[in-house]
Amino acid sequence: MKQRLDEPGPLQRRGPRPLLLHLTLAMLKSSVSLAGSATLRLVSPSSNALPGAQAVQAALEAMVQGRDAETAFPTALLAETLRQDAALIEGILAYRHHSYRRELKDPPALWEEGGSRLLDYRQGSVAPVVVFVPSLINRAYVLDLAPGHSMLRWLASQGAAPLLLDWGWPGETERQFTLTDYIAGRLERALMAAWDVGRGPVVLAGYCMGGTLAVAATQRRPDLISALALLAAPWDFHAPKPERALTAARCLPLLEPALAFNQALPIDMLQTLFTILDPWGIANKYRSFSRLDPASARASLFVALEDWLNDGVPLAAPVARECLASWYGENAPARGEWRVAGLTVDPSSLKLPAFVAVPGRDRIVPPDSARPLATAIENAVLHEPVAGHIGMASGAGAERALWRPLRAWLGEVIPL
């Protein structure tokens, strides 16, 4: 496939992205902890946000037992801070030098437009087609990650007929797109192509942001869609705490120079927004990875998922503005004020069968953000697995958490 605009070549491990930001945050955290050790002695170290909370607790207990109170605390804090910093660097190096490489090849494309493709995972199935729609800001292959971690190939092996809409890298045309262009334009045309392939209405399955888009597409074209699956799809962007979303929305003026220059929100800026919402999460994750056996299946899965996370896609500037201002700032979808091609998007107007998966450990789309869709859609089945946002789709427990329940629901709404 022809390379688009500034699309990178073969994946090189540059993560965690943006690396400088994560290293700077780790340095600041360590510096503040050490500089404030005198103050920290006066407060409870029970919070996990404190570096080495357990080590600090042990030091405080030692003070009570009569050991040298002036040296026990700062010595323990320094040792734990240095250990955590070393573990972070070791984790990053272990990730970058890991032997895992994704070898799964994309199946044939049934339809193409611009950088987008409709990929055929059916394996000869004649069942009604299920079209999977991922987020615009991540690569589509999270649903086809690796052997044993591919929801699409597993569903095909169970008699389903999955197709995957790969949005692709945004070229010059796509960088002018609004959400209306994506939903009422490209997504609808992909659904029409899928209708032709399956010779009838399709099941539409949207993952993450793709689920939010799928709600609008289903309302617009009920003639093309027989059932709807929403997998960790955000809707109430101010739940459970508005400040989280408002923080992202307030970043929009700071991002405008990059949006104007690139006609898109660059990958590293997207990653920075997510980091703002969880500033210590990435570093903690890599520290944990440093303790894994590199030859273990768990380590390989970590690398596969991190490769996918770091292999992001820029977001068209008009879409970035609309998402940050309207979704995150104004909470337009939940307030009934989001419009696509002039039509207010109202999930309560949907009367078709629906499956709403809300992972209970999701930190990207909080459960309170996704759950309102199950309430709004009259014929919705709510499924709440004990899983995270990405783990539900392609993690070690994904078959139990999502694949099997989704397959069971599909068997109830279409012949398999």
pLDDT digit string, tens, across residues 152-167: 999 999 999 999 999 9
How many structural domains is the chain composed of? 2
37 occurs within a structural domain = yes
| Euclidean distance between CA atoms 376 and 359, whole angstroms | 18
263 occurs within a structural domain = no
Both 173 and 225 in one domain: the answer is yes
Both 368 and 225 in one domain: the answer is yes
206 occurs within a structural domain = yes
Range of the domain at 128: 109-240+314-413
User: Which residue type is seen at 60?
Assistant: L
| Euclidean distance between CA atoms 313 and 310, whole angstroms | 9
Q: What pLDDT, on a 0 to 100 scale, did the predictor assign at position 44? A: 46
DSSP β-ladder status, 202-207 and 109-113 = unpaired
Segment 338-361, tens digit of pLDDT: 999 999 999 999 999 999 999 999
Task: Find the distance separating the first CA and the last CA of the chain, reported in whole Å.
Answer: 33
Is 402 within 8 Å of 115 (Cβ atoms)?
A: no
Both 224 and 86 in one domain: the answer is no
Higher pLDDT, 15 or 253: 253
As to burial, measured by CB atoms within 10 angstroms (0-12 exposed, 13-18 middle, 19+ buried), residue 49 is exposed
What average pLDDT does range 35-61 have in this prediction? 53
User: Which residue type is seen at 318?
Assistant: P
- DSSP-derived secondary structure for 356-410: EE--TT-SSS-HHHHTHHHHHSTTEEEE--S--TTHHHHSTTHIIIIIHHHHHHH
Listed range (5-19, 83-97, 369-383, 393-407) with the worst mean pLDDT: 5-19
> Which pTM value belongs to this model?
0.89
Both 79 and 130 in one domain: the answer is no
Both 288 and 216 in one domain: the answer is no
Listed range (75-84, 117-126, 383-392) with the worst mean pLDDT: 75-84
What average pLDDT does range 71-82 have in this prediction? 77
Q: Which of the four pLDDT bands, split at 50, 70 and 90, describes residue 35?
A: confident
Q: Which residues contact 415 (CB under 8 A, 6 or more apart)?
A: 127, 128
Both 114 and 178 in one domain: the answer is yes
Q: Collapse the DSSP code of 329 into the 3-class scheme (helix H, G, I; strand E, B; otherwise coil) and give the result.
A: helix
pLDDT of residue 232 exceeding 50, the answer is yes
What Rg, from alpha-carbon coordinates, does the chain have?
A: 23
Q: What pLDDT, on a 0 to 100 scale, did the predictor assign at position 47? A: 45
Average pLDDT, the chain: 91
Contacts of residues 18-21 at CB distance under 8 Å and 24 or more positions apart, as own/partner, are: 18/268, 18/271, 18/272, 19/92, 21/271, 21/272, 21/275
Segment 188-213, tens digit of pLDDT: 999 999 999 999 999 999 999 999 99
Both 84 and 124 in one domain: the answer is no
Both 138 and 234 in one domain: the answer is yes
User: Which residue type is seen at 257?
Assistant: P
pLDDT of residue 317 exceeding 90, the answer is yes
Q: What pLDDT, on a 0 to 100 scale, did the predictor assign at position 57? A: 60
CA distances from 90 to 84, 168, 289, 291 (A): 10, 33, 9, 9
pLDDT of residue 58 exceeding 90, the answer is no
Q: What pLDDT, on a 0 to 100 scale, did the predictor assign at position 28? A: 87
pLDDT of residue 7 exceeding 80, the answer is no
Both 192 and 232 in one domain: the answer is yes
Higher pLDDT, 326 or 56: 326
Both 295 and 172 in one domain: the answer is no
252 occurs within a structural domain = no
Q: What pLDDT, on a 0 to 100 scale, did the predictor assign at position 139? A: 98
pLDDT of residue 31 exceeding 90, the answer is no
Both 115 and 226 in one domain: the answer is yes
Both 134 and 213 in one domain: the answer is yes
Segment 111-132, tens digit of pLDDT: 999 999 999 999 999 999 999 9
Q: What pLDDT, on a 0 to 100 scale, did the predictor assign at position 65? A: 60
Listed range (67-71, 78-82, 84-88, 211-215) with the worst mean pLDDT: 67-71
DSSP β-ladder status, 225-231 and 380-383 = unpaired
pLDDT of residue 330 exceeding 70, the answer is yes
